[in-house]
Structure 1
Amino acid sequence: MATKTTKWGILSTARIGIEKVIPGLMKANGVEVVAIASRDLAGAQEAASRLGIPQAYGSYDELLADPEVEVIYNPLPNNMHVPYTMKATEAGKHVLCEKPIALDGDEASLLLDVPSDLYVMEAFMVRCHPQWQRAREIVLSGELGDILLVQSAFAYNNSDPKNIRNQLATGGGALMDIGCYPIVAARYFLEKDPVRVISLVDRDPTFGTDRLTSALLDFGGGQRAEFTVATQSVPYQRINILGTSKRLEMLIPFNAPLGGETVLRLDDGKVLGDGALETEVIPACDQYQLQGELFSRVVRGEEELPYGTGDAILNMRIIDAIFRSEATEVWETVHTSVSD
């Protein structure tokens, strides 16, 4: 039996959409990208022609008014995520919104007003990747023993003042852009939320954005997560999950190579220097394709929404607490009571 097609519209010609998300959606089973919008009609038409999208619009509101579109993918700048996600739901559309979903937890909480028959999901494509799913399966199996620590690093080098990641007013900086990933990783693997956080932040003197941010998250019961993210560093990424019996290492946890294999490494530490290392190869996939297929199944009523607005709000509240700790230089409590 053929899968029913869910029709998508793309808000903006943002690079993440053009280079990664839309190509993934075009390959996805049960997904049809029918329209793309930009504030510049020529830009939308050029992207539509290049990607094979039938309809181009010169404004976001025109796309939202298209009755054929059922799902909106929102990769607009961070300060436009909530406003246009709300506009999309007011137009009766479901929304897959890029991360971080808002500028702070209060703004994210506005999404609680979205009608219950419409779905909004934050686009953490990593949770759709088989390497993450297999890693959590190993964690939950008990093979690592009692989990003590989720340790993450994520860094790139970008000092372009025109790049939106270096613009404070629109939600730039290391914590907002990439720090949200280690937070999601810790919550995903520990299957709980932190109760308090403390941070150390270094800001670019010109941009005002955080360029080197480290945080320690206390999950209670002796479990913790620690991470460092950087925007002006040698590119690097890694996750290590330490248990009482073994550790699990993910080599490319966040920007997994499209069409390439990924590797999980297990080590019981009996021989230092990785001498007891065991590897498990995860077959190639496109995590953006898998994300599109998952959300389309949710929209069609074939699957429950795994991560809704409550999850997104809580992630923002953790980021808020990390920024508060930057200012106070002490532990800050995470407010975890969210009604979805």
Structure 2
Amino acid sequence: MAKKVRWGILSTAKIGREQVIPALKNGDLMDVVAIASRDGNRAQDAAAEFGIPKAYASYEALLADPEIDAVYNPLPNHLHAPLTIKALDAGKHVLCEKPIALNAEEAKQIEAAQRRSGKIVAEAFMVRFHPQWQRAREIVRSGRLGDVRVIHTFFSYHLVDPDNIRNQADIGGGSLYDVGCYAVATARFIFGADPERVIGAFDRDPAMRTDRLASGLAEFPSGRHLAFTCATQLVPTQRVQIVGTKGRLEIQLPFNPRRDQPTRLVIDDGRDLIGSGEETEEFPPSNQYQRQGDVFSRAILEGSSLEFPVADAIMNMRVLDALFRSETSRAWETI
């Protein structure tokens, strides 16, 4: 195989243009060779903007290109599973944006396509590759915080444009799919376990029908809890608190740190309530999207396994499914 993985990009989505395409182009193991859009002019414009050699006017044409090894799928949520399956069946490895599907059953169909194809597929939770999250997990495992029992996560932004895909209920819009999934994935990452049951409270926009506010509790083994709130119509903010019997850890900008600025963790031994026991660890600027792409590309080139394979994505979807079930049942739902 070539020394670099040759990537194709499915669509000209904002996250791809602003984050992932530049990250893939700057990686040592990656070469972006094609981009596709259902609008051929948009594909051509994006190709010219980023210096991408090939532009296709359909996703199928890109998937038929034998010179592409892997594809990045940042399409609207309802197209994640269908196009990921098409890509796998076309013999491509796939890095798919979160959520990987609209439910666990769709995610299992992706797993079946992976088995058919022999290719690899992963859900693009880029935060797990950022040094601040890897250090947070290391601190938790070291016992410095004592017995870690609770994670509190808050992730919100304000978006009321009904034409934005995040506000369209029939294609997988809403806060839980868009940002609440990070709370679930990172809690599983930190605890190194999966929740046993969950309960959620939702408020839906009366016109758009999307969950504009969702809060949830997830109960993990050994009496550990995740408590989170996510929202699409609140002031933008994000914070994560990881709390144990001997200390707490705060990730100040957990999900969207700027790649040109340092990030910080605050570790507090809890000696008082005014922060006398606080220490700060600072990390140099880091591109979590590039790190994610490098890890995925290395697995392709070396034929190695991923730390977070498609089975991990299926479990995350099972948790989201249970949270949505609890909206109707108004009760705890098992995973």
What TM bracket, shorter-length normalisation?
Answer: over 0.9
What code does the residue aligned with 1:99 have?
K
Instruction: Report the TM-score when normalising by structure 2.
Output: 0.98
Aligned-residue offset at 1:256: 1.2
Partner of 1:338: none
Measured in 2, the distance between the counterparts of 1:199 and 1:89 equals 34
Partner of 2:12: 13
CA contact 2:193–2:221 (8 Å) conserved in 1 = no
CA contact 2:70–2:93 (8 Å) conserved in 1 = yes
Measured in 2, the distance between the counterparts of 1:88 and 1:320 equals 25
Residue deviations 1:23-78, cap 9 Å, x none? 11111111000000000111000000001101000000000000100000000111
Structure 2 residue 67 is matched with structure 1 residue 68: yes
What code does the residue aligned with 2:97 have?
E
Q: Which runs of 5+ in 1 are unaligned?
A: 335-340
Aligned-residue offset at 1:188: 0.3
Please give the secondary structure, in 2, of the residue aligned with 1:32. strand
Measured in 2, the distance between the counterparts of 1:90 and 1:284 equals 37
Measured in 1, the distance between the counterparts of 2:101 and 2:113 equals 15
Q: Which runs of 5+ in 2 are unaligned?
A: none
Measured in 1, the distance between the counterparts of 2:126 and 2:221 equals 27
Partner of 2:306: 305
Partner of 1:199: 200
Measured in 1, the distance between the counterparts of 2:220 and 2:164 equals 34
Between the aligned residues of both structures, percent identity stands at 53
Measured in 1, the distance between the counterparts of 2:3 and 2:140 equals 35
Measured in 2, the distance between the counterparts of 1:69 and 1:206 equals 42
Structure 1's 285 and 302: CA in aligned 2 closer, same or farther, altered over 3 A?
farther
Structure 2 residue 116 is matched with structure 1 residue 110: no
Structure 2 residue 48 is matched with structure 1 residue 56: no
What code does the residue aligned with 2:226 have?
A
Measured in 1, the distance between the counterparts of 2:267 and 2:227 equals 20
Aligned-residue offset at 1:304: 2.2
Structure 1's 259 and 303: CA in aligned 2 closer, same or farther, altered over 3 A?
farther
Aligned-residue offset at 1:302: 5.6
Partner of 2:332: 331
Instruction: Report the TM-score when normalising by structure 1.
Output: 0.96
What code does the residue aligned with 1:4 have?
K
Partner of 1:155: 156
Aligned-residue offset at 1:273: 2.5
Please give the secondary structure, in 1, of the residue aligned with 2:325. helix
Residue deviations 1:268-289, cap 9 Å, x none? 1112122321100011111111
- Over 3 Å off, 4+ runs: none
Measured in 1, the distance between the counterparts of 2:107 and 2:258 equals 30
Partner of 1:94: 93
CA contact 2:114–2:121 (8 Å) conserved in 1 = no
Partner of 1:185: 186
Aligned-residue offset at 1:258: 1.3
